[in-house]
Chain A
Amino acid sequence: MSERPNVLVQGGRASFRSLRLDAGTVTPVVAAIVLATYAALRMRWDWLGDYYPLLIRGLGMTVLLVVVTSSLGMLLAIPVGLVQVVGPRWLALPARAFCTVIRGTPLLLQLWLLYYGLGSLFPQFPWIRDSALWPILRQAWPYAFLGLTMSYAAYEGEVFRGAFKGVPKGQLDAARAYGMSGFLMFRRIWLPQAFRRAMPTLAGETILQLKATPLVATITVIDVYSVAAQVRQQTYLTYEPLLLISAIYIVLAVVITKIFVRLSGKSRDNTAFRKS
């Protein structure tokens, strides 16, 4: 007698649960729908027709900035981190100093020093003015790429320093005991393990890198943020362009997260963290 209703209750509860979404998912979705409805009905979007080519170009620059500076920055960060762990003093000290200086000063300042400082220093050397590179060095974007790359390298250099240091000594002992050369050990054991340790942090840091890109607008590079600023100035619309690029940044951040999940997915079963 008492079993049947029980089963019914349980079945009912189970199907109810499968329909129910938890508050963590619902709140942002509802907020987004409300906002989108409001934006569509009460805001002006007619400017999009005129500005979308510029927006696409700006978006391209933003994406390029993140992808290129994060990749180059990471390539630089690995040796910067490594020499601080195993390098001779004459390499470790400059690497240490590089990280401290870059991490200790505002990125805005670095961009300005590069662009206005280097940019005004270069023309004073005839051999630079006359070189084939001058048409490039005259523009702003090389300094933006350089500044953001150095910034990423400094922060991630620090991450990699910790990651290299964190690989248990026994792992490297085993590599040497089985006859690996220093380079082979680095390539096969040390770097892959350090990478897996660094990965979760790198995902977050790359999103921070994305959010640092609007600073390049201050040195006249046209990224997606600077296009929005231009729209504001020319159309006197305040919120519409800002809302649009906010949405763009959110989408880019989600894409970055997905990429890193995919990258570390291969090592999902990895263990470095479970026992050690």
Chain B
Amino acid sequence: MEMLHADGIRKSFGNLEVLCGVSLTANKGDVISLIGGSGSGKSTFLRCLNCLEHPTGGEIRVNGEAIAFKPDGHGNREPESKAQMRRIRARLAMVFQGFNLWSHMTLIENVIEAPVHVLGVERRQAVDEGLRLLQRVGLYDKRDAYPAFLSGGQQQRGAIARALAVQPLAMLFDEPTSALDPELVGEVLRVIRELAEEGRTMILVTHEMSFARDVSSQVLFLHGGRVEEAGAPAEVFGNPRSERLARFLGSFN
């Protein structure tokens, strides 16, 4: 079943064309990894998927529903209905490189914020569910801690709990371990791996090549705003066709 479909996504910042037609289809349970060099447009593409950036061209369909765009009067496009965009966006949970837990809220407050205030879930129910999720990522004890008092790994696991709390149709990870000290990477990857194994639909931008190889159902290699190579992880990692991908992968050894 198709959960997330992007077709020919293009994005320019002024004259700079960052994405020149990137497509992707994620069916339920797919884990799609985006790899590529710095500045290849991975983050921008991910942010187009939930309209944090408004794509200049292309189409997005979430759970069968297409996001409608209209001209914004400055030569770009914007979503036709903000309400529709927010409703869809709320269910495409994003996990950021810098965690971005809300710093003035405790962990549990962070987790129930979107369910209560965006999705209209009853508070008690949201707290119950939130505590269950914190338990799951191993942070039940830290439920009343403020983010600044948590390690990076704990913050990121908390951010994952926040993402799970909206019962996401698909999860968008933007380099979830890049800002972590090496010894904290493992605990976060373990949680993500579990999510992959239980059949979550995920789009994952990452520089953790062996992890991507392990968990992905599909890998896209982006270069210069285009998908240079795509396929099953064994193919892409084991048998790169383009010189560029081979060189890119070589840089990790």
Contact = CB atoms under 8 A, between A and B. Distances in A.
B118 A269 contact: no
A174 interface: yes
Interface string B46-63: 000010100000000000
Interface stretch (B22-30, B94-102, B123-131, B239-247): B94-102
Interface in A249-276: 267, 269-272, 274-276
Contact of B100 (A173, A181, A267): A173
Contact of A178 (B90, B103, B147, B148): B90
Interface in A224-253: none
A183 B52 CA distance: 16
Given A193-B103, A269-B146, A272-B103, A179 B96 contact: no
B23 to A, nearest CB: 22
A181 B103 contact: no
A120 interface: no
Contacts of A189: 102, 104
B52 to A, nearest CB: 6
Contacts of B166: 178-179
Contact of A170 (B82, B100, B114, B119): B100
A271 B52 contact: no
A42 B114 CA distance: 67
A275 B150 CA distance: 10
A177 interface: yes
B117 A171 contact: no
Nearest to B163: A178
A174 B104 contact: no
Interface in B67-92: 82, 86-87, 89-92
Contacts of B103: 171, 193, 270-272, 276
A174 B118 contact: no
A88 to B, nearest CB: 13
B87 A179 contact: yes
A171 B100 contact: yes
* Size band of the interface chain B makes with A: 20 to 34
A129 interface: no
Interface residues of A, number: 26
A275 B148 contact: yes
A200 to B, nearest CB: 15
Nearest to A271: B148
Interface in A165-195: 168, 170-171, 173-181, 184, 188-189, 192-193
Given A271-B146, A271-B147, A178 B118 contact: yes
B113 interface: yes
Given A178-B166, A180-B86, A267 B104 contact: yes
B190 to A, nearest CB: 23
A181 B147 CA distance: 23
A183 to B, nearest CB: 11
B149 A269 contact: yes
B160 interface: no
B9 interface: no
Contacts of B100: 168, 170-171, 173-174
Contacts of B104: 189, 192-193, 196, 267, 270-272
B86 A174 contact: no
B93 interface: yes
A168 B103 CA distance: 10
Contact of B146 (A175, A181, A184, A270): A270
A167 B149 CA distance: 18
A171 B96 CA distance: 10
Contacts of A267: 104
B228 to A, nearest CB: 27
Contact of A174 (B82, B102, B117): B102
Contacts of A274: 148-149
Interface centre among B52, B87, B146 (most CB of A within 10 A): B146
B184 to A, nearest CB: 14
A179 B114 contact: yes
7 interchain residue pairs of minimum CB distance: A271-B148, A179-B90, A274-B148, A178-B114, A174-B100, A170-B100, A177-B94
Interface of A: 168, 170-171, 173-181, 184, 188-189, 192-193, 196, 267, 269-272, 274-276
24 contacts: A168-B100, A171-B102, A173-B96, A174-B100, A174-B102, A175-B102, A177-B52, A177-B92, A178-B89, A178-B90, A178-B114, A179-B89, A179-B90, A179-B114, A179-B119, A181-B82, A188-B117, A189-B102, A193-B103, A267-B104, A270-B103, A270-B104, A271-B146, A272-B148
